[in-house]
Amino acid sequence: MPTGTYSFHDPHDGTPLGEEHFSCAPGPIGWRYTGTGIDLTLDAQGRALRLEALAGGWRVRGGACVVAGAPGVMWVRAAADPRVDAPATDGEARAAGFTGRSPAYLIATATRLNLEPGGSARVRLIALTEPVLAAHTADRSWTLAAIERHDGLAVERYEIDDLATGERAIVHISGDVVLAAPGIELEALDTPPNRRITTVA
C-alpha cells in the first residue's frame, strides 16, 4: 500500500497551496484512496462507488448512479460542521465521475477510461472546486500519448484538454500514483505504485 505526500502549488505563479498525505491500494471491491480531505473508493468498473471530500468547511458525499438511463453521479454538499446553519444542496448529472485538486481524481479517470496507447476519449466530469467544493460540469478530452519506462516504472503520459478553455495539461501516471501534473508534485513515496486495477464491463 503506497503512502506518500503530494504538494500543491498554483501552476501559473508557483504559490504553495498545501499538501496531501495519502495512501492507496486495490481491494476486494476495486481501489481505495485516502488522503487529506478525501476518501474515494472505485468499483471494479472504475466508477466512484463512494466519495467524501472536505475543504473550506464543506463536505461533499457522492457516488455513481444512473441518470435518465445512463451512467452518472450524484452528490450532496453540506457544511462539515452540523452546527453551522447552512442548507445542504444535492445534485446529479450524467458524468463519468468527479474531478478536483486531489491526484485521486486523475487516477480515477484514467482507470475509468482504460485507454490504449494512442487512444483518446471525451469525458464529462463533475468538478469540485476549492475552497468551497462548488460543483460544476467539466468536459475534458483525454489522450494516452505514450507509455515510457523510467527507473523501472511504466509511466503513462496523458494529454488532457479542457474543452471549454482549450488549456492542455500533461500528466504522468505510474500505476495508481500521479508522478507529475500541473500544480502537483509528488514529494514522497514509501513504496512503488500498485498496478492500477483492470476495469471489467
Mean pLDDT of 148-168: 94
Higher pLDDT, 199 or 52: 52
pLDDT tens by residue, 111-149: 999 999 999 999 999 999 988 999 999 999 999 999 999
Q: Whole domain around residue 123: which residue ranges?
A: 3-189
pLDDT at 151: 84
Q: How many domains does the chain fold into?
A: 1
For residue 104, is it within any domain?
yes
∠ CA 128-130-134, rounded to 5°: 45
CB 188 within 8 A of CB 182: no
For residue 52, is it within any domain?
yes
Higher pLDDT, 114 or 82: 114
For residue 147, is it within any domain?
yes
For residue 86, is it within any domain?
yes
Helix (H) or strand (E) holding 2: none
Distance CA 197, CA 119 (A): 18
For residue 197, is it within any domain?
no
For residue 196, is it within any domain?
no
For residue 150, is it within any domain?
yes
pLDDT at 7: 98
Mean pLDDT of 22-50: 94
